Structure 1
Amino acid sequence: MARPRAFDEATALQKALETFWYRGYSATSVEDLVAGTGLSRASLYATFGDKHALFLRALGQYQQQAFHTLTALAADPAVPAAEHVRQVLELTAGLCQADAGQRGCFMVNTITELVPHDPEVQALAAEYQHFLETLLATVLRRGQQRGEVRRTAAPQAQARLLVSVLNGMRVMAKADADPQLLRDVVDTALLALA
């Protein structure tokens, strides 16, 4: 009979996510994951499989956390569309300015490191980008219907621009931690919608 696990799998997965986030996929060794999670090598493999399988699980967890947070931000239809967009942009700016902000966005880091040669990661990254675009397009469409957002561009096109702005903010913050830089980006992006 197998012994029950003496660790919380969700906690170990979150610790693995943090380890990958700080080091990147290629620079993270199995020894780094053992140290980061506190699991033995045998427990790590038995629970999550190989390094790549663990990475995919960690990236999926990050993605689900982001989906939950962003969906909650945009949930109230009574809030003006521009305010929803501001909240999403400011959330990104705030995360970029946090102590760990210069580590960048886990998804953006992953896209630049792995998407060119890893189809499984590419699929998760495409799903993440599509989610952001769809969420923002829904908010912008609602805003256009209520006269809160310019009708000069289709909501889908505006959403694509905003996703590019979000990704750019994450990269900019990694290179330059000046909070005013990100505030300027947020304010200018919102001017385009008004």
Structure 2
Amino acid sequence: MARPRAFDEAQVLDAVRDQFWTAGYAATSLEDLMRVSGLGKGSLYAAFGDKRELFLRALRSYTATSQGHLRRMLDGSPRAIDALRLLLEAPLGEGISPDVRRGCLLANSTCELGGADPEVLAHAHETYETSTALIAECVARAQDDGDLPVQTEPISLARALLGAQQGIVFMSRTGIDPAALADTARSLADRLLPDPSA
């Protein structure tokens, strides 16, 4: 009879994800993965496969969690327009968090591996399309509320908002002053989310 695994798979994936997120794929060694997971090579690879498979599982876990956060954020405001503004401002929160300083794991991984790994590129494309659709639904609700012009095309605006949000996250990695980034987020919100009564 096989012995049950004596480790928490979700905790291991979280630790591995953070290692890849901080160092990148190429700079993460097997020794790094063993250190952060607390597992030996045999246990690690028996449970998760090789380094690439482990990375893909960690990346998929990250994107599933991120899209869950996005859904809750977009659905969590009484007015859809407030949720759309929060999309641009949320990465800053009360300041620049360590996670924001690391950027977006999906974007980082696509930049590093997208040209050489079709599976990473396909996953990034699918994830961004799903995020765009979620944001577009929120845009349509804001239109129904009378808070955005009805002639605005929801998918086009959703892509612009997602691109702006990802740009803010990327800029935060360079050490730009948080107050300047917050001002940038407000400026983008004012331009991308015009008040139809103004």
TM-score interval (norm. to shorter): over 0.9
Q: Is the 1:96–1:173 contact (alpha carbons within 8 Å) kept by the matching residues of 2?
A: no
More deviation, 6-15/97-106? 97-106
After superposition, the CA RMSD in angstroms is 1.7
Which residue is 1:187 aligned to?
A: 186
Alignment: residue pair count: 193
Conserved? CA contact 2:91–2:100, under 8 Å: no
Is 1:144 the equivalent of 2:143? yes
State the 4+ residue runs in structure 1 displaced beyond 4 angstroms.
none
Partner in structure 1 of residue 47 of structure 2: 47
Q: Which stretch has the larger CA shift, 180-189 or 109-118?
A: 180-189
Summarize the alignment of residues 16-165 of structure 1 with structure 2, pairs less than 5 Å apart. 16-76=16-76, 79-94=78-93, 97-165=96-164
- AA aligned to 2:45 is Y
- How many Å apart are 1:146 and its aligned residue? 2.1
| Structure 1: runs of 5 or more not aligned | none
Contact 2:74 2:138 in 1 (8 A): yes
Contact 2:88 2:189 in 1 (8 A): no
Deviates more, 1:112-121 or 1:144-153: 144-153
Residues 100/142 of structure 1: CA separation in 2 closer, same or farther (3 Å cut): closer
**Larger helix percent:** 1
Which segments of 5 or more consecutive residues in structure 2 lack a partner in the other structure? none
What is the identity percentage for the equivalent residue pairs of Structure 1 and Structure 2? 38
TM-score, normalised to structure 1, is 0.93
State whether residues 81 and 142 of structure 1, in contact with CA within 8 Å, keep that contact through their aligned partners in structure 2. Answer: yes
What letter is aligned with 1:164? G
Deviations 1:99-140 (A, max 9, x none): 343221111111111111111111111122112211111111
Residues 98 and 177 of structure 1: CA distance in aligned 2, closer, same or farther (over 3 Å) = farther
